[in-house]
């Protein structure tokens, strides 16, 4: 279970599960390898306490459904060690997720975005279609790909 502690960093990040799973995708594809490096750079900065990684019940539900045992265990370890549980009004998050779902966001995507809007400064995803939909929908949060986030934050 993720930590429930007062955060140290003012910068809170919310990464969806497809982003956290990038190291388990085909690393022979250049884009995937670069996105994996970007994820590791973000995680390094989370370890250095430059950012906090917010994790929600949606993360645990999606991780639970992963069939690859090694991937599942790595993700559970990651969210347990570095994840911070969100402090937010769950009824407002649920209402916002329902609004996003009505705008044709998938159920899990709508829930992730609703939690991100309520708790974080940036929503990070590797899903191009979701990213474009986020950018067109006027969300209450900045949505970026991992590489875009690293460039924006000048992470090295």
For residue range 118-156, list pLDDT tens digits in order: 999 999 999 999 999 999 998 989 999 999 999 999 998
CATH number, span 12-153: 3.40.50.1010
Dihedral of CA 128/133/136/141: which sign?
negative
C-alpha closest to that of 9 among 131, 114, 139, 122: 122
Which structure tokens are listed for 130?
Answer: 């979701």
Alpha carbon 2 to its chain centroid, in Å, reads 14
pLDDT digit string (tens) for 1-48? 444 444 455 799 999 999 999 999 999 999 999 999 999 999 999 999
Where are the domains positioned within the chain? 12-153
Instruction: Give the predicted TM-score (pTM) of the model.
Output: 0.91
């Amino acid at each position: 279970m993720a930590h429930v502690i007062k955060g140290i960093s003012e910068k809170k990040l919310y990464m969806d599960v497809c982003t956290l799973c990038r190291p388990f995708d085909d690393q022979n594809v250049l884009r995937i390898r670069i996105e994996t490096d970007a994820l590791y750079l973000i995680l390094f900065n989370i370890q250095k306490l430059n950012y906090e990684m917010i994790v929600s019940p949606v993360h645990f539900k999606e991780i639970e459904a992963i069939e690859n045992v090694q991937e599942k265990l790595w993700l559970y370890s990651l969210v347990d060690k570095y994840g911070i549980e969100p402090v937010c009004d769950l009824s407002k998050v649920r209402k916002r997720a329902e609004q996003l779902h009505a705008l044709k966001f998938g159920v899990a995507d709508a829930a992730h975005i609703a939690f991100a809007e309520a708790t974080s400064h940036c929503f990070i995803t590797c899903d191009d279609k979701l990213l474009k939909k986020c950018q067109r929908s006027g969300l209450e949060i900045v949505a970026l790909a991992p590489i875009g986030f690293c460039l924006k934050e000048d992470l090295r």
